[in-house]
Amino acid sequence: MKNKGNAQKLKAFFKKNIYYIVMIVCILAIAAMITVAVVLGGEETTPVPAPTPGDVTDQNPPDDSGTVTPPDDTPDTPVDVTPEPIIFGLPVAGGTVIKDYAMDTLVWSSTLKQYSVHPGIDYKAAEGASAVAVYDGVVSSVTYDQLNGNVVKIDHGDGLVTIYSSLEEPVVSVGQSVTEGTALGLLGTSATKEMSDGSHLHFEVSLNGEVADPYDYLPAGDK
């Protein structure tokens, strides 16, 4: 019966010291966790791969002001790729502007003897000067009518068309590919609506069928 007596003693011991036993077990458990944490923390000193720039931009660093920064929805690659701006050459080498583009204000027409808008730029130049293509494109029409005279239109794509009026006989034909500087025809007086301006080129720009400001495309400083 000695064993029974020992068991009884042990039971009594546990009953008496249960709180101390639980406390020691808890302390041992906490100590074990701390030990594991220290061991794992020591392992973390091994080099980790550096974050890629893409990972960095996706993170929102905490704001010092305390305000919440909304998530950055900007995609990594821009959706709209802005095309290179088109810059024309001059339609007449060494030409002088004799009547400016004026769609917002009325300018005096010495031929029509009235004020009207002027949807293009008139260039005058020395005798024998040619109008030239301001940009690469394809000749889309060569026409004649009494008011505008001989007119060459060049399609540059994306709805952009340049129009050269009041030419002498045009030297290009429909469908012909031209590059910047290709001669189109001599400056003339064929446009009766601008007859009294003398031999000149009336130059217009059209974007998607509407009159456009030539100075949006001509090199800066030529106005």
Residues in contact with Zn ion by the rule CB under 5 A:
122, 194, 202
How many other CB atoms are found less than 10 A from the CB of residue 166?
Answer: 30
Nearer to Zn ion, 187 or 194 (CB): 194
* Cβ closest to Zn ion, residue 156 vs residue 197: 197
List of residues 6+ apart from 15 with CB closer than 8 A: none
Contact 199, 188 (CB under 8 A): yes
Task: In angstroms, give the least distance from the CB of 149 to Zn ion.
Answer: 11
Give the nearer residue to Zn ion in terms of CB position, either 182 or 204. Answer: 204
CB of 77 to Zn ion, least distance (A): 45
Q: How far is the CB of 194 from Zn ion (least distance, A)?
A: 5
Structure tokens, 167: 């030419």
In the complex, what is the shortest distance from the CB of residue 118 to Zn ion, in angstroms, rounded to a whole number? 6
**Least distance in angstroms from the C-beta of 204 to Zn ion:** 8
List residues bridging with 93 in a β-sheet: none
Q: By three-state DSSP, how is residue 211 classified?
A: strand
HSE-up (13 A, CA, CB side) for residue 53:
1
Q: Cβ closer to Zn ion: 13 or 144?
A: 144
Instruction: Compute the half-sphere exposure of residue 161: CA atoms within 13 Å on the CB side of its CA.
Output: 19
Residue 122 or 142: the one with the smaller Cβ distance to Zn ion is 122
Which residue number, 97 or 138, has a Cβ lying nearer to Zn ion? 97
Which has the closest alpha carbon to 92: 59, 55, 121, 63?
121
Minimal distance, residue 138 CB to Zn ion, in Å:
24
Could you tell me which residues come within 8 angstroms of residue 89 by beta carbon, excluding any fewer than 6 positions away? 132, 133, 134, 135, 180, 181, 219
For the chain, helix, strand, coil in percent to 5 are 25, 30, 45
The rounded distance, in Å, linking the Cα atoms of 152 and 207 is: 16
